[in-house]
Amino acid sequence: MEMFIKIAPRAYNLLRSHIPAESAAHQAIEKASRIDHSVEGVLFAGYSVPCNDEQARILLEIAKQFCPEIVPDIETAIALARSG
């Protein structure tokens, strides 16, 4: 199942710098698209990372170590993908 995880630039850079090239998640982080949009007047600048369940799980584990503030966002994306 494919999902999209939206993350801020700082978190994207942290994840990207800690994902080994041979990891399944490396391909996902490299395919991320830069996004800039406004919701109710609040600008969000970040990245949308397309990934499958395996890649999302790897991103989750790396996030737990290096940027725990995005762990809930990844968990939510996984839960939504599984329920939908």
Segment 6-26 mean pLDDT:
94
Break the chain into its structural domains and give their ranges.
2-83
Q: What is the pLDDT of residue 38?
A: 72
Q: Tell me the per-residue pLDDT of 28-80, one tens digit each, with 9 for 90 and over.
A: 999 999 998 776 777 778 999 999 999 999 999 999 999 999 999 999 999 99
pLDDT of residue 41: 77
> Residues 12-41: what's their mean pLDDT?
91
Q: 8: which 2 tokens?
A: 């801020």
CA end-to-end span of the chain, whole Å? Answer: 10
pTM of the complete model beyond 0.85: yes
Position 48 scores a pLDDT of 94
Give CA–CA dist 44/6, Å, rounded: 10
